């Protein structure tokens, strides 16, 4: 005897992974990886350069106060990164490389602006001898 599946389980399609380099190359734009919503799909590229997509699922409820606050904090951190002089952004990229991080200098800056940890910063500064100041912390 076969059990019938619930309708909501049958309606959820599985994630798709593109193993086709042609498809992956077609979806790249000027050397950048495609990610985010594109038509009816949400796409991202894994670290192993596989393109993954699944049906777009827009939110069904408005953002909560906590979600809006976090998005505002992130937006402010990105705005501050963009106002840094080019030489300072290069120094952040160099710092991330010197620390052997998989993250970029941009990622490191945003992380520290949103989740500052004085001990970790001191360790990184001592290890690399950087003259950079940590980013201004964005309060929660």
pLDDT in tens, 80-123: 999 999 999 999 999 999 999 888 999 999 999 999 989 989 98
CA atoms of 114 and 76, how far apart (whole Å):
10
Percent of the chain with pLDDT over 90: 46
- Taking the CB of residue 110, how many other CB atoms lie within 10 A of it? 20
Query: Could you tell me if residue 2 is inside a domain?
Result: no
Instruction: Give how far Cα 76 sits from Cα of 13, 114, 140, Å.
Output: 36, 10, 12
Query: Could you tell me if residue 8 is inside a domain?
Result: no
Query: Could you tell me if residue 139 is inside a domain?
Result: no
- Nearest CA among 114, 109, 118 for reference residue 137: 114
**Same domain as 48, residue 71:** no
Domain final residue, candidates 55, 86, 103: 55
């Amino acid at each position: 005897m076969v059990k019938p599946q619930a309708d909501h389980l049958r309606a959820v399609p599985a994630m798709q992974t593109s193993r086709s380099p042609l498809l992956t190359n077609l979806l790249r734009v000027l050397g950048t990886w495609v990610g985010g919503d594109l038509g009816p799909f949400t796409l991202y590229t894994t670290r192993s350069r596989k393109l993954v997509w699944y049906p777009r699922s827009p939110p069904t409820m408005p953002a909560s106060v906590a979600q809006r606050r976090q998005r505002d904090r992130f937006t402010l951190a990105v705005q501050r990164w963009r106002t840094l002089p080019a030489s300072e952004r290069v120094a952040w990229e160099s710092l991330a490389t010197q620390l052997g991080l998989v993250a970029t200098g941009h990622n490191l800056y945003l992380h520290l602006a949103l989740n500052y940890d004085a001990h970790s910063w001191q360790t990184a500064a001592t290890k690399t001898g950087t003259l950079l100041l940590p980013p201004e912390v964005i309060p929660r």
